[in-house]
Amino acid sequence: ELRRVLFRSGYSTGLFLDQRENRRRLLTMDLAGKSVLNCFAYTGAFSVAAARAGARTTSVDLSRNYLDWGMANFRANDLDPAAHEWARADVFGWLRGAARRGRRWEVVLLDPPTFVLTTLVLVLTALAACWVPGCRAMQVEPMVALRYE
């Protein structure tokens, strides 16, 4: 899979190498026709992998620049970003609103930035937002995925 990586942009190059196995795992999952929510989407690497595996993705990030970068990564992988949902928002507030609207996903990806103090609160919030019978938490170091089975 292709990624737009900016080596001269300092700390934020656009790709975390330690997440390579997690992206590969998504690529091998049976996600055809499934809905995937990618919280803290950054440059959309997990969304690209899920979309390439056949999922309909929703990518949420606070940064418009990173979401634009994610859409560019979709195009680099011959994926139509317009066929997927992109939300520029604070993840916590967005999840509360999604829960109020009855939104549901079969897979929820949580890879918060290091400044988020506790992942547990986020996981519980996401569980409430995506809860469907059979939804379970699956630890994918250091990412947490909630998967419907």
84, pLDDT greater than 60: yes
**Position 81 pLDDT exceeds 80:** yes
Q: What is the pLDDT of residues 17-65, one digit of tens each?
A: 556 777 788 889 999 999 999 998 988 989 999 999 999 999 999 999 9
3-state secondary structure of 39: strand
Kindly state the tokens that stand for 123: 């996981």
Measured CA to CA, the distance from residue 42 to residue 70 in angstroms comes to 7
Report how far Cα 58 is from the mean position of its chain's Cα atoms: 7
Token pair listed for 133: 């019978």
Helices 20-28 and 45-52, packing angle to 10 deg: 20
pLDDT above 90 coverage of the chain, percent? 34
In 10-125, at which residue ranges do the beta strands (DSSP E only) sit? 35-39, 56-61, 85-88, 107-110
Separation between Cα atoms, residue 138 and residue 48, nearest integer Å: 20
pTM above threshold 0.95: no
